[in-house]
C-alpha cells in the first residue's frame, strides 16, 4: 500500500512539472549538489538530463548527445558518477558538478581508443555504390550522378568540398544544417565521415537523423565516400 501511495505521489509531483525543472534553477547556479542526491529518482533523471545537455553543449535532454563527448558513457554511468560526486561534495552547486563531469569526460576521451575513421581505410567506389543503393540507405533520399535531382534529401553531386546547405533549390534544410552552412562548414571527407557515421550526434533534429541511423561500419563509409567522389 505504501508503495502504491508513493507511486501516486511521484506521478502527481511529475505532473506538476515546472516546480521541479532543474534547468531554470541550476542556470542560476543556486542548487546545491546535496539536493540532487536527496531528490527522488525521477527528479534525479531530470538533473542528469540537464547535466548531459550542459556537458555536450547541445542544450539537449537527449542522452544520445553524450556520444559527442564520450561514447562509453551511458545514462546509468553518468547518474552513478553524479551521485558519487554530489555525495562527496554536497555543498557544490550542480553546475560545478556538471563541469567536473565535463573534465572527467575530456580526460577519459584522451584515453579511449579513437573511433575507427573511414579516412584510414581505402574506399572502393564499386562497393560504395552498392552500400549507397542498399535498402533504407542513402539512395532512398539522395540522387547523385548526371541529372541528379533533389528527393527527400538534396542531390549530392560534387558533395566532397561542397559547402553545407548550399543546394539553392532544395527547400528542406533544417535550421541546424543552415547554420552550419552560414558558418562556412564544408563537406570534407572527414566531415562526411562524421555525419554519415551518426547523423544524430551532429544534428539531433535533422530530418536525415530522424530516419537514418547512420553507417557504423567505417569500411562502408570509406566505400560510400569513394563512390561520392566519382560524382564530383
Ligand atoms: C531518410 C532519408 C535520408 C537518408 C537515408 C540519407 N540522407 Fe542524407 N540527407 C537527408 C536530408 C533530409 C538532408 C538534409 C538534412 C538537414 O538539412 O538537416 C540530408 C543531408 C545530407 C548531406 C548534406 C547535404 C548538404 O547539401 O549540405 C549529406 C552530405 C548527406 N545527407 C549524405 C548522405 C549519405 C552519404 C547517406 C547514406 C550513407 C545519406 N545522406 C542518407 C536525407 C537522407
CA nearest ligand 1 atom 6, residue: 138
Query: Lowest-pLDDT range, 40-49, 60-69, 188-197?
Result: 60-69
C-alpha cell at 195: 555525419
The reply to whether 10 and 88 lie within a common domain is yes
The listed range with the strongest mean pLDDT (49-58, 92-101, 149-158, 205-214) is 149-158
Q: How many domains does the chain have?
A: 2
Average pLDDT in the chain: 79
Q: Give percent above pLDDT 90 in the chain.
A: 39
Domain of 158: which CATH number?
1.10.760.10
d(CA 25, CA 45): 15
- Out of 22-31, 38-47, 137-146, pick the least confident: 22-31
Q: Are residues 76 and 139 in the same domain?
A: no
Higher pLDDT, 7 or 221: 221
Boundary of a domain, candidates 111, 144, 162: 111
What's the pLDDT at 57? Answer: 58
Pick from 92, 111, 130: which residue ends a domain?
111
Residue 167: per-residue pLDDT: 97
| Residues 141, 151: Cα–Cα separation, whole Å | 6
Reply yes or no on whether the pLDDT at 28 is more than 90: no
How buried is 226 (Cβ within 10 angstroms: 0-12 exposed, 13-18 middle, 19+ buried)? buried
Question: Is residue 222 very low, low, confident or very high in pLDDT (cuts 50, 70, 90)?
Answer: very high
For residue 117, name the pLDDT band (cuts at 50, 70, 90): confident
Q: Are residues 87 and 125 in the same domain?
A: no
Contact 163, 184 (CB under 8 A): yes
Indicate the SS3 state at residue 5: helix
- Give the pocket of ligand 1 (CB within 6 Å): 137-138, 140-142, 152-154, 156, 159, 164-167, 172-174, 176-177, 187, 192, 195-196, 203, 206-208, 211-212, 215, 224
CA of 175 to the centre of ligand 1 (A): 14
Please tell me whether residues 35 and 133 are part of one structural domain: no
Which of 64, 82, 111 is a domain's end point? 111
Residue 19 has pLDDT above 80, yes or no: no
Q: Indicate whether 166 and 224 sit together in one domain.
A: yes
> Are 94 and 143 part of one and the same domain?
no
Domain of residue 59: give its range. Answer: 2-111
Q: 201 C-alpha vs ligand 1 centroid, how far in Å?
A: 14
Same domain, 123 and 107: no
Find the 88 Cα to ligand 1 centroid distance in Å.
46
In terms of phi and psi (left: phi > 0; alpha: psi -120 to 50; beta: otherwise), the region of 123 is beta
**Which of 22-36, 69-83, 111-125 shows the lowest mean pLDDT across its residues?**
22-36
Amino acid at each position: 500500500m505504501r508503495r502504491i501511495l508513493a507511486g501516486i505521489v511521484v506521478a502527481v509531483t511529475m505532473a506538476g512539472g515546472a516546480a521541479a525543472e532543474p534547468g531554470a534553477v541550476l542556470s542560476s547556479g543556486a542548487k546545491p549538489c546535496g539536493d540532487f542526491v536527496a531528490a527522488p529518482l525521477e527528479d534525479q533523471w531530470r538533473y542528469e538530463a540537464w547535466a548531459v545537455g550542459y556537458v555536450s553543449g547541445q542544450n539537449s535532454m537527449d542522452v544520445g548527445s553524450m556520444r559527442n563527448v564520450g561514447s562509453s558513457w551511458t545514462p546509468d554511468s553518468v547518474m552513478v558518477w553524479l551521485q558519487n560526486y554530489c555525495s562527496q561534495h554536497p555543498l557544490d552547486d550542480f553546475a560545478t558538478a556538471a563541469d567536473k563531469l565535463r573534465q572527467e569526460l575530456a580526460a577519459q576521451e584522451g584515453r579511449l581508443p579513437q573511433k575507427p575513421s573511414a579516412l584510414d581505410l581505402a574506399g572502393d567506389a564499386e562497393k560504395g555504390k552498392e552500400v549507397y543503393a542498399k535498402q533504407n540507405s542513402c539512395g532512398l533520399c539522395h540522387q547523385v550522378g548526371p541529372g541528379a535531382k533533389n528527393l527527400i534529401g538534396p542531390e549530392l553531386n560534387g558533395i566532397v568540398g561542397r559547402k553545407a546547405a548550399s543546394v539553392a533549390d532544395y527547400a528542406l534544410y533544417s535550421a541546424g544544417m543552415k547554420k552550419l552552412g552560414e558558418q562556412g562548414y564544408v563537406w570534407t571527407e572527414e566531415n562526411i565521415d562524421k555525419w554519415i557515421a551518426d547523423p544524430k550526434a551532429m544534428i539531433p533534429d535533422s530530418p536525415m537523423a530522424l530516419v537514418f541511423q547512420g553507417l557504423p561500419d567505417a569500411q562502408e563509409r570509406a566505400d560510400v565516400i569513394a563512390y561520392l567522389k566519382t560524382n564530383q
